Amino acid sequence: MELKPAEVTSVLKKQIEGYQGDAKLQSVGTVLSVGDGVARVFGLDDCMMNELLEFAGGVRGVALNLEDDNVGCVLLGDATKVKEGDMVKTSGRIISVPTGPALLGRVVNALGDPLDGKGPLNVTTSDYLPIERPAPNVVEREPVKEPLQTGIKAIDAMIPIGRGQRELIIGDRQTGKTALLIDTIINQKTTGGGNPANPAQVLCVYVAMGQKQSTVVDLVKRLEKAGAMPFTIVVSASATDEASMQYLAAYTGVTMAERFRDEGRHVVIMYDDLYKQALAYRQVMLLLRRPPGREAFPGDVFNLHSRLLERAAKLSRDAHKLNPRYKAGGGSITALPVVETQEGDVSAYIPTNVISITDGQIFLESNLFNSGVRPAVNVGISVSRVGGSAQIGAMKKVAGGLRINLAQYRELQAFAQFGSDLDKATQSALTRGEKLVEILKQGQYAPVTVEDQILIIYAGTSGALDDLPAKKIADFERQFLAAMRDLHPQVAKAIGETKNFSDADKAIADKVIQTVKKQLG
């Protein structure tokens, strides 16, 4: 950004002009006690819930408890600068964060302040929106119907996600939850060429709460390398930030996403992860002396997550006619919350809460991960309750066979060790399942287009690969897809346009499958 001295002067002139007549009564209070990022303040008449407070030394805080004789608030900055007896001023505004296209490609904290050293955000005061806003109501919504492609075969085929859906990603530590999110962001590049100005481009918001800072840096580097950063906002409240920032970051992220949704765009927001957010919330609420409930979480920990996830929605085409808040209808926010489980215990408090709020869940299992099935999605217990209607016709057809074959495989897997003693039907179901599991394996940072997914899953479910050794499946996939791309590009194009996989195209695919199999020997 280049600035001429004359411009600065004119800005200052405007500021000084607007400064006149600023003789208003400010509500003030005195700090009674400070500690652990929480302060109690005496005074502050007319203080609002969630109002931003200004402490001495430029520290800001948020009023969360309005009590009889004091106001309990969390500090959003260096608590060591605040002393007992300091004066506290109200700001007259609910805590709000900057939103809009200026944030795309940036890394910001829970208050929307940039962390990436790329200079100040180019936003105006009208870009600031309060972080707690009501979710769209019933008439402004529409059922989920458009697909959100993650580029991951196992998910797009069997646990399809639609735009506006809330799909939970749940699993132990080190099972590839964040990797799955990164792949999803990278795959959104296919929707609009990675150009954020293109209305078809799906925008991404990644909210890191309580994550290691190294993980966040890694993620940003990875996204930059893949060219996915220009349409992504990263909100980071890492493990070193105050608990209050970690808990607010989720709302900051969804407020930024809502701005785009309300302008008719499609957004994916990822909360990584909500378990750590609940821990941060528990800490803040216990310090504010709110009564603890189960596992010492405050009573409103369910509402904490439900009101957050309820803001993910698919807006109807006419939403802007019903409510002036929306500039255009048809936008959506797809939420992909992550919850980390301990020792695979999905029946713990927070996981069951979030499972009941979301429209389905993707289970990642460490024993699958360790046995080399990556992504380690357990397709048996993962579900998507609304995504089916968002799947394209061609995928629905081939995935149906995939699901049945895999279900049979899982049932018979226990008998696999009896080998040749089994009858023919059981044996063929086992070999088919083995090949399909192999097909669903996928490298990291290598999302697959939906057309390619349909072709390779067709190859597997048609039974053409039953006689191919499992080790050669990866080679086959690479060569087969390359051959289809080079020799018959019209097939993928037809699938993309008609959303249908015609018998003529199937015949072409069958022919190519046989040729590639011959080449592999």
Partner 1 sequence: MQTIISPVATRYATALHELAFEKGQLEAVAKDVAVVKAQVDQGALAELFDPRSNQGQRQSALSGLIAKLGPLTGNFVRLLSDKRRLEVLRELPAAFHRNQLAAARTVEGVAQSARPLGAAELNQLSASLGRVLNKQVVLENQIQPDLVGGVRVLVDNRLLDQSATGRLEALRSLLMNARLD
* C-beta of 12 vs 381, nearer to partner 1: 12
> What's the CA angle centered on 336, arms 220 and 232, to 5 degrees?
30
* C-beta of 23 vs 414, nearer to partner 1: 23
Is residue 519 within a helix (H) or strand (E), and if so which, with residue range?
A: helix 503-520
Under 8 Å between Cβ of 467 and 475: no
Give the closest residue to 170 by CA, choosing from 425, 356, 403, 418.
356
385 is catalytic: yes
Under 8 Å between Cβ of 234 and 253: no
Window 279 to 318, contacts with partner 1 (CB under 8 A): none
From the list 26-34, 146-154, 300-308, 481-489, the region that binds partner 1 by CB under 8 A is 26-34
423 binds partner 1 (CB under 8 A): no
Q: Would you give the DSSP letter of residue 316?
A: P
Question: Site for partner 1 (CB under 8 A): which residue of 19, 21, 417, 503?
Answer: 19
Rounded to the nearest whole angstrom, what is the least distance from the CB of residue 71 to partner 1 in the complex?
Answer: 11
Rounded to the nearest whole angstrom, what is the least distance from the CB of residue 27 to partner 1 in the complex?
Answer: 6
Question: Site for partner 1 (CB under 8 A): which residue of 6, 16, 138, 414?
Answer: 16
Under 8 Å between Cβ of 59 and 77: yes
* C-beta of 126 vs 417, nearer to partner 1: 126
Question: Site for partner 1 (CB under 8 A): which residue of 25, 138, 414, 507?
Answer: 25
Does 375 sit behind a cis peptide bond, omega within 30 degrees of 0 on the bond before it? yes
483 binds partner 1 (CB under 8 A): no
- For residue 15, how far is the Cα from the chain centroid? 39
* C-beta of 8 vs 296, nearer to partner 1: 8
Window 94 to 153, contacts with partner 1 (CB under 8 A): 120, 122-125
Rounded to the nearest whole angstrom, what is the least distance from the CB of residue 63 to partner 1 in the complex?
Answer: 14
Helix 473-487 vs helix 424-440: crossing angle, to nearest 10: 70
17 binds partner 1 (CB under 8 A): no
- Binding-residue pattern over the window 45 to 84 for partner 1, x denoting contact by CB under 8 A: x----------------------xx---------------
* C-beta of 118 vs 145, nearer to partner 1: 118
44 binds partner 1 (CB under 8 A): yes
Residues 6+ apart with CB under 8 A from 493: none
Under 8 Å between Cβ of 465 and 508: no
Count of residues engaged in binding partner 1, rule: CB under 8 A:
32
From the list 7-15, 196-204, 240-248, 458-466, the region that binds partner 1 by CB under 8 A is 7-15
From the list 5-13, 108-116, 330-338, 497-505, the region that binds partner 1 by CB under 8 A is 5-13
* C-beta of 68 vs 343, nearer to partner 1: 68
Rounded Cα distance between 156 and 498, Å, is: 18
Does 273 sit behind a cis peptide bond, omega within 30 degrees of 0 on the bond before it? yes
Structure tokens at 382: 């993962």
Residue 403 has a CB neighbour count (10 Å cut-off) of 15
Under 8 Å between Cβ of 304 and 353: no
Structure tokens at 45: 């008449």
33 binds partner 1 (CB under 8 A): no
Residues 6+ apart with CB under 8 A from 107: 114, 115, 116, 216, 220, 234, 236
Helix 177-187 vs helix 213-225: crossing angle, to nearest 10: 30
* C-beta of 75 vs 88, nearer to partner 1: 88
Rounded to the nearest whole angstrom, what is the least distance from the CB of residue 112 to partner 1 in the complex?
Answer: 13
Under 8 Å between Cβ of 121 and 112: yes
355 binds partner 1 (CB under 8 A): no
Window 177 to 236, contacts with partner 1 (CB under 8 A): none
Rounded Cα distance between 421 and 409, Å, is: 17
Q: Of the residues 93, 289, 385, 478, which is catalytic?
A: 385
Rounded to the nearest whole angstrom, what is the least distance from the CB of residue 253 to partner 1 in the complex?
Answer: 23
* C-beta of 87 vs 355, nearer to partner 1: 87
Question: Site for partner 1 (CB under 8 A): which residue of 7, 116, 218, 224?
Answer: 7
* C-beta of 27 vs 462, nearer to partner 1: 27
Give the closest residue to 251 by CA, choosing from 147, 433, 109.
109
Under 8 Å between Cβ of 109 and 90: no
Rounded Cα distance between 97 and 113, Å, is: 9
* C-beta of 42 vs 349, nearer to partner 1: 42
503 binds partner 1 (CB under 8 A): no
From the list 3-11, 148-156, 294-302, 444-452, the region that binds partner 1 by CB under 8 A is 3-11
Rounded to the nearest whole angstrom, what is the least distance from the CB of residue 385 to partner 1 in the complex?
Answer: 45
Rounded Cα distance between 397 and 501, Å, is: 9
504 binds partner 1 (CB under 8 A): no
- Binding-residue pattern over the window 362 to 391 for partner 1, x denoting contact by CB under 8 A: ------------------------------
Residue identified by tokens 């067709």 is 458
Rounded Cα distance between 409 and 429, Å, is: 6
Instruction: List beta partners, residue 169.
Output: 338, 362
Which sequence positions are flagged as catalytic? 385
> What is the contact surface with partner 1 in residues (CB under 8 A)?
1, 3, 7-8, 11-12, 15-16, 19, 22-30, 32, 42-45, 68-69, 87, 89, 120, 122-125
